[in-house]
Structure 1
Amino acid sequence: MPTNTVNKEASLLEKEQKRWERFFKTLNSGDFQFGHTSRQLVWKKNKATLWHYPAQTKKYDVPIFIVYSLFNQPTILDFAPGSSVLEGLVNRGYDVYLLDWGIAGYEDKNISIEDYVASYIKKAVQRALRHSGAEEISVVGYCLGGTLAAMYASIAEEPIKNLVTAAVPIDFSVTASVPENWAEAMLEGNMDLDRFIEVYGLVPPVYVEAMFRSITSPVYNTPYTLLLSRAHDQRFTEKWHRMNTWTKGHVPLTGGAFKQLNEDLFKGNKLVKCEFTIHGKKADLKNIKANLLAVSMKSDNLIPEEQSKPIMDLVSSEDKTFLRIEGGHVNLAMSGKFAGVLDDWLSERSTK
């Protein structure tokens, strides 16, 4: 056999060995540590924490208050240096406040959606305004956090200048985000959710993960194959490791929140019908007059555009924009591009 051929085969074998070594090394690595952007603890309530990310060089007097989903940890917003939403915003001159829900325990089982809005978001916004000394604030909600943000904005007495909803479910009559058999069973009352919640108190993370896997399948079946095929690329494996750690980081959902999500929103679609109440106050989206930006992802198989767009017709805002962006449900946050999208819109609507 020619020497060149032998050397080529040896080189390929060495490359293949390195690929498999990095593949197993990545799989066996511990969970990735997120959160490199400088922050300060401002306020705590129960398991929730309000974090302040101060601007590198403050450029705007209107701070940003971010509400993330109840299902996942908000670490996706500080994914990695150079691709972090929080880093991108503070580098652009914004003071940012993030409400981190923490991890609910059994003792929190009765906390409902309206409790999260009235007793957590509202109090945290008040604290952010007091801490910043600002006269107005921009509220940004991502995924289910955007639903909660819209609910809050509909009853808020605080001065909300701008409201941003990104990949947010508003119209729950659109059932593309859950398996068809689940939707039918839930709408017809054939799922004994009350008994399930009575036993567990919470929806355990393993069930939350299973739900999202069923929704996004076969996407969740391919990451390991993709990792193996590109394990020779160290930059890719590091990014894959970060994403895999975050994906597995689902948190428990309180029984009270799950019941209300199922009964009042999924089955009753009360937010769109103007029938949802928060501690006795009607959450009428027509009360929202703040400048509105609604963002939808073109390839979002979790929250389709049809679920998000109805907010445009339900609010009373004179300045409102609907924006469709390329990418999937978490891509906007994971890539850090959301910071640029926010800056493009907020910079003209925030006092310098």
Structure 2
Amino acid sequence: MDTPFGSPIDIGLDALAREALQVQSRLRKGMETLSALDPVDVGASEREEVWRDGKVAVYRFRRDGIEATEKVPLLIAYALVNRPYMVDLQSDKSIVRGLLERGQDVYIIDWGYPDRSDRFQTLEDYIQRYLGGAVDHLRKSHGVDAVNLLGICQGGAFSLCYAALNPRKVRNLVTMVTPVDFHTDDNMLAGWARALDVDLMVDTLGNVPADVMNWCYLTLKPYRLLVQKYVGLVDILEDKRAVEDFLRMETWIFDSPDLAGEAFREFIKQFYQDNGLVNGTVRVGDRTVDLKAIDMPVFNIYAEQDHLVPPNASKPLRGLVGSKDYSELSFRGGHIGIYVSGRAQRDIPQGIHDWLSQRSKTAR
């Protein structure tokens, strides 16, 4: 049988039998590999807790003898829906390690696992109380007026709000795969969220279960994320390290906290449905977020093949902030590749470090 390109495909019984035997051999060896595996660990870098407010904590990454050449601390704010160790997944896939090796003093905020007692936590709690409390702790402990802030995905949206409301406390702002315009035509997730009856959902469920959110993300690319990757697992079963890498990523994907109901309601309504960052209508407590108040240097990093935060959703930030010092970095990869690909390990920490270093002596 020929393909449309003229190349023959051998689908005879002999070919099918050979393929079946190969799969059987891989599965048999794979069982040996799996039985020899230890539990996979996540989070490559040593860290210590330096601040806590309830379930929310800030950790400082230890330097292993590497001197911090940058005196202004860098605080990373990740999204609520997944665990922040994606930026430090394993020793050879760690944005954090790359930043540490280049002299940055790196901290990360861990939002914890909300339970029913957190049902009525609001965006003001997350942005002003928790993120603001973390910033104030670092300002005091380092004796500085302002810190460097790296906001990632939803954490980037939070960081934009915080910087707009507290511009004197942020020296430099880095946003990474951060949604800004939630009404672009190529954003499937945003389209779903705009049609969501979020009041009914939160009033019925209280906190939003992690499994609901995971199912939404997986069904954005159902074949790739629910079928293809598990079929592909057969091809790597004989490689212990590759299997460990696979399981480490699976651990992160399904290690998702529930989401505090009120904060979820506010975020969906104000950001996804009202496109509040573009329209200037986001309110945090009794204050309105005006991105023009962001007058510190801004570095916006987006991924060219990002299906969760398409470039068109991130790039409008340029015209919305008030800063005269705005830069962009376009990364050739997707929403996950920007953390774990080999190119990411080389380009992302170096890009952030170079940009921050150029501004480390700039007075505001």
Q: Say whether the fold is shared (TM-score over 0.5).
A: yes
Which residue does the alignment assign to 1:198? Answer: 203
1:148-193 CA-to-partner distances (Å, cap 9, x unmatched) read: 000100011543221111111111112533358735633xxxx3x3
What secondary structure is seen at the aligned counterpart in 1 of 2:276? coil
- The secondary structure found in structure 2 opposite 1:42 is strand
Q: How does 1:14-53 map to 2 (within 5 A)?
A: 17=25, 19-22=27-30, 26=34, 32-53=40-61
Give 3-state SS (helix, strand or coil) of 1:253's partner.
coil
Whether the 8 Å CA contact 1:23–1:228 is kept in 2: the answer is no
Which whole-Å CA distance do the structure 2 matches of 1:16 and 1:135 have between them? 63
**Structure 1 pair 28/273, CA: closer, same or farther in 2 (3 Å)?**
farther
Q: State the partner residue of 1:214.
A: 219
Counterpart selection for 1:232 from 235, 238, 255? 238
Q: Deviations over 1:36-61 (max 9, x none)?
A: 31211111112111111244211111
Q: Following TM superposition, by how much is the alpha carbon of 1:29 offset from its aligned partner in structure 2, in angstroms?
A: 6.5
Deviation for aligned residue 1:13? 6.7
- Give the deviation of 1:230 after TM superposition: 2.2
Residue 19 of structure 1: how far off its partner (Å) = 4.7
Post-superposition CA distance 1:211-232 (Å, at most 9, x none): 1012233221221111112222
Counterpart position of 1:288: 294
Could you tell me which runs of 5 or more consecutive residues in structure 2 were left unpaired when the two chains were aligned.
1-19
One-letter amino acid of the counterpart of residue 270, structure 2? D
SS of the residue aligned with 1:256?
helix
**Equivalent pair of 1:41/1:49 in contact (CA under 8 Å):** yes
> Mapping of 1:77-116 within 5 angstroms?
77-116=87-126
Answer with 25-34 or 113-122: which moved more. Answer: 25-34
Structure 2 Cα separation of the partners of residues 13 and 219 of structure 1: 25
Report the residue type matching 2:266 in the other structure. Q
Q: Which has the higher mean CA deviation after the structures are superposed, 168-177 or 144-153? A: 168-177
CA contact (8 A) 2:76 2:106 kept: yes
Q: Which amino acid aligns with 2:80?
A: L
* TM-score, normalising length: structure 1: 0.88
TM-aligned CA deviation for residue 235 of structure 1: 2.6
Q: Tell me which amino acid in the other structure corresponds to 1:43.
A: W
Give the match for residue 57 of structure 1: 67
CA distance in 1, matches of 2:191, 2:350: 39
* Pairwise CA distance, 1:199: 2.9
Shift of residue 31, structure 1, vs aligned partner: 6.0
Deviations along 1:64-89, one digit per CA (max 9) or x if unpaired, are: 11100011001111111122111111
> Does the CA contact (< 8 Å) of 2:193 and 2:273 recur in 1?
no
Counterpart contact for 2:47–2:60, Cα < 8 Å:
yes
Alignment TM-score, normalising by the size of structure 2? 0.85
Provide the aligned C-alpha RMSD in A: 2.6
Aligned to 1:8: none
**Count of paired positions:** 338
* 1:96-135 C-alpha deviation (Å, 9 max, x unpaired): 1100001110110111223211111111101012122334
What is the alpha-carbon distance in structure 2 between the residues aligned to residue 24 and residue 294 of structure 1?
45
Q: Where does 1:250-289 land on structure 2 (aligned, <5 Å)? A: 250-289=256-295
SS of the equivalent of 1:59 reads coil
Question: C-alpha deviations, 1:244-300, integer Å up to 9, x for none?
Answer: 111111211111111112211111112211111222222100000111111110110
Deviates more, 1:127-136 or 1:117-126: 127-136
**Greater Cα shift, 136-145 or 271-280:** 271-280
Unmatched runs of 5 consecutive residues or more in structure 1: 1-11
**Quick one: distance in 2 between partners of 1:184 and 1:38?**
40
More deviation, 340-349/322-331:
340-349
Q: Which moved more, 1:143-152 or 1:278-287?
A: 278-287
Cα 1:251/1:286, change in 2 over 3 Å: same
Question: Does the 8 Å contact 2:30/2:237 carry over to 1?
Answer: yes
Which of 109, 118, 127 is matched with 1:117 structurally? Answer: 127
Does residue 1:144 correspond to 2:154, yes or no? yes
How far is the alpha carbon of 1:26 from its aligned partner? 4.4
